[in-house]
Structures are given as C-alpha cells and as structure tokens.
Structure 1
C-alpha cells in the first residue's frame, strides 16, 4: 500500500466531451483556472491538453500551451505541469472499400512533430503513449510505432523532461520496458496505467494487478479508469502501491446525474486517500519522489 500519494488532475483531455458537460475547460484561461482549482483541492500534478478556443476541438498549438502554462505560473501556483505529447497520432481510416481514404479528421505526424510545445516550454513531465491502439468503435486508430517512440523518448530524455509512460494495454507495457532496457528512459521511470478506454486494458483489477507485477521495483506509477470506475480506481491504485489520477478528462460526474468540477473530483479523491490512512504529497514532495528536473 502507498501511504504517500500523489494526485494528478487531468483537467480537460482531448475527447469529444464539449457539449456533454456544461463547463468543460476549453480556453487557455479556463484550462489554467481548472489546474489552479485542482491544486487548491490537493492535486500535486496537472495533466494538460489544450483545445481550439473557437471549436473546442483538441489542438497542438504551441501558443495555446504557452498561455496555459504562463497563466498557471502567474498565479504563483506551484503545481507540477504535465503536458500531453500524445496529440498527432490520430489516423481515421476510410470506409471498408477504401480504407486509405483517410478522413479529414486525421492528425498524424511523426514522433518529433509531437514535441514542439515540449521543446518550447520544457515542462517537468510530458506523456509518451507507448503503443498503437484501436480507439473506440469507429475507424480511429491511435498510431505510435516503435520507431516513433524511440525517436520521441530519445528527444524527451535529451531535454531533461520526465516521460510519463502511458500504458493502454499489456503490449504497451512490454514496449515501455524495452525502452528502459535501451536506456531511452532515465530512472526512476514513471508509468501511467490507463483502464477502460475501448479497446485497451479493461477496468479489471486482475488486469491492473498483472500490470503492476510487471513494473520495475524502482518505478513510480499512477493508474486511472474512466467514468464511474474513477473513484474505485483511486482506492485500488493506492492499495496496490500507486498514485492516483482524477479529472474531467476521464469522468464528467461527481454522482449519477451530477456534473463534477475538477476541484470536486480532486477533493473526493483526497478524502479517499486520507480515509485509507494516507497523506497527500505536495508538489515539492512529488518532484522529489519522481526525480523531476525544474527548468529555468
């Protein structure tokens, strides 16, 4: 069991949640305010995506990331910033008779082209999605090939940024361990075990336990699950020795039919942690535990 727990808040994500919740953070100001709200509620890390303010769609615009980070820091908020580097892997195949007629929604670039905002802003953490995945029930495939991942991991390492190794299925974990063998990820490694995303690892405790058993002894790790499984995963992650993640990227509701805010989700997770006899780590303590490098 982990008694010293880091809470990460994933404040908005890139999914099609705009219109499904009355207050999904969309603009840089809204995203920054959500991160600050999460910090005040007890989160040590804010996991950040950005969206096009005009459309609400996911974006890779460096200027949007810069504005979010600057707004957070202007408020003297010490929360650790974790920027997604997963954008740019969306391949929407065409219909069955013409699968190479890729949809205009396709946003597929190489490993280096997924990192300009990381290069520019040098966050303490950025994500590295460790494999390809059939994403949902349509023709969307998230693409992250071994070559792309090696290129991305090598550059992230050179920048002194800690990669959060995103594990959506057991094959992703297998390859992440290979990156460690090739010394493309510095110790101590940081893993994120992702459950309930069709069609990756199911929200099953046996699957989660099997993944945890494969992690290196010196690994730091967090786990989350989508929707109504979000809070049960807070408890399960802590009991298995990990940290926790909550937020509107993964779950829109506080209770059935009751929309949540990021702060409310963090507050509920914090209550679970403390009721189980744990304590919340501050951002400074999280930096020490994870071996993070602060830039500038």
Structure 2
C-alpha cells in the first residue's frame, strides 16, 4: 500500500481590522496606523504567516481606501516581519472599484483578497445590541448595510485579475461566501485567467452568504474537490463571529488552513472580547498543535501558494 502524502503545514492568516466592525463594538479594534501595525506585527510573531490588511481613518475609525493611510503602516509591518502582506481589494461596500484598487495597484503586493461574486453582505442586526455609539457615522453605516450590495461582477473580477494578477504578479486569496462563488472561480480557471496554485477562502457565517453549519463547510470542500481536483487547490476557512474557532478547527481537521483576526470576530471566547489579533492567533495555534498539526512559516506559505516573494513588491 502506498504511503499517503504528508499533509501540508497549516497556514494561519490574520485579518487585522477589516471594514465591517466599528469602534463602538470593541475598544481593542485597531484603528490608527500605529495600532494596525503593532497588532499585525504581534500576530506575525505569534505565528500568522499571512497578514490581511485594511486601512482606517485614525480620526474616527471609519474604513479608508486612501493609499496614504496604508503607507503609514504597511512598510512598517514589512520591515518588522517576514509575513506575507495581503491587501484587500474588497475595501467596503461603500467604495468604488477604483478606490478599492488604488493601494493594491501602487503596492503590487504578493497577495490580495478577491471576492468571487456580488452579494448581500450585512451585519445590520448588530446595531440593535449597541447602546452607545462613539461616532456619528457608525450607526447609519451598520444599519445601512441592510440596503447595500457588495459588488464584484464578472467584469470587475476579470479587471482585477488582469491589472493585479497578470500585470503585477499578485496572487489571490479567493474569498468564496457561497457555493456559486466556487463555480465563478471555476469559470475564470476555464477561461485561462486564473492559474494554480489556488488559495480558496471558504467563508461561513456572514448574513447574505453561506451559513455557519458544519455541513456547509463539508459541501464547499466536496464541491471544490469536484471543480478543481483534490490536489488542484488549497482551502482555508473563515468562520465569522462566534463561529470562528469551531469552524476553523473543523477546517483544519479536513486538511485546510485557517484565518483569524478582529476583522472576522471580536471575541476570543464566549462573552470575552479578544484584546488583540495575536490572542486569536495564539489560540488557534494551540488548537492546531494539540491536533498534531504543524504551523507554516511565511517562507513555507510562499512556497505552497507560489508567491512572487517580498523582493518583488513596491513597498
């Protein structure tokens, strides 16, 4: 009997701040360039091989697409860690495609996120749980999600694949919030616009996307196996909110990689706010190691994902 191939080491990604949570939801959400940089650096030192980054306006914490904001923390993170820097192309539902791409096109990073379809994306029920708002923009921002669509059309995706992927050598974390997003990705593979190795982020628990049921994660993996072949992709798991750690643990058992961070969940345990992204990295690392799984270094993540290397970026 042939000896089965050794499983991959597990890549831990950390999404540091995002554009969904607001300052009133947690005092630990990093908002200033200094806080974003420090939390990212600490997460890398805790074991995150990939750092997924958004920017914020330091005056009131609202999401920002301004390259000048990114420039205040991305070079600092790059100087202090060897982690793969992954810049969002999602931004927020209120940003245009040009705004979302402004910094990635300037920075030419090794990796960017890429949402694989337009969708409803909302946390508007969370507004009911906030008693006091720190800033005037927050409540209408959260409640307004009920009537917004996250846009990423086939034309948008094709454009991003061309100007970032083909022209800049950037590879992608393909964010799949539903089964149809896997088929969208397969379409672009069939068109010859996406080539492996594929890194698929299976996202469960966002209102408007796939629910957090464990069966859905199994179905996503089985569908990806059919579409891309078991050896044709690597998958990672993102569990939103309270579903973060259970779904990540399940994903790791299934042979996947994991993503934590205050963008995805503000909590470390039931009723306990995470004081930093690094706390979440340390927790999932402990779980992985208890399962006898090894954590990948940035160099190992680069090799697995076929990245162009830190020397080829523009920051």
TM-score normalized with structure 1 length: 0.89
Residue 114 (structure 1) shift: 2.7
Q: Which among 3, 27, 34 is matched to residue 39 of structure 2?
A: 34
Partner of 2:136: none
Alpha carbons 1:29, 1:71 under 8 Å: kept: no
Alpha carbons 2:22, 2:61 under 8 Å: kept: no
2:112 counterpart of 1:126: yes
Question: Gaps (5+ residues) in structure 2?
Answer: 1-5, 125-145
Q: Which among 29, 44, 54 is matched to residue 49 of structure 1?
A: 54
Task: Tell me the distance in 2 between the aligned counterparts of 1:262 and 1:114.
Answer: 24
- Deviation readout 1:158-207 (Å, 9 max, x if unpaired): 21000111101111111111111111112111111111000100011211
Q: Which one has the bigger strand percentage?
A: 1
Task: Tell me the distance in 2 between the aligned counterparts of 1:10 and 1:73.
Answer: 16
Question: What secondary structure is seen at the aligned counterpart in 2 of 1:230?
Answer: helix
Alpha carbons 2:202, 2:235 under 8 Å: kept: yes
Runs of 4+ residues over 6 Å off in structure 1? none
Task: Tell me the distance in 1 between the aligned counterparts of 2:56 and 2:155.
Answer: 28
Partner of 2:212: 203
2:158 counterpart of 1:154: no
Alpha carbons 1:84, 1:126 under 8 Å: kept: yes
Task: Tell me the distance in 2 between the aligned counterparts of 1:266 and 1:16.
Answer: 19
Partner of 1:96: none
Q: Which one has the bigger helix percentage?
A: 2
2:89 counterpart of 1:85: yes
Aligned length: 277
Q: How does 1:133-152 map to 2 (within 5 A)?
A: 133-136=119-122, 138-152=146-160
Inter-CA distance 244–50: structure 2 relative to 1 (3 Å threshold): same
Task: Tell me the distance in 1 between the aligned counterparts of 2:297 and 2:172.
Answer: 20
Question: Gaps (5+ residues) in structure 1?
Answer: 91-105
When structure 1 is superposed on structure 2, of 264-273 and 172-181 the one drifting more is: 172-181
TM-score normalized with structure 2 length: 0.84
Alpha carbons 1:193, 1:221 under 8 Å: kept: yes
Alpha carbons 1:163, 1:185 under 8 Å: kept: no
- Deviation readout 1:24-58 (Å, 9 max, x if unpaired): 11111111111111011111111111111112111
Q: How does 1:182-197 map to 2 (within 5 A)?
A: 182-197=191-206
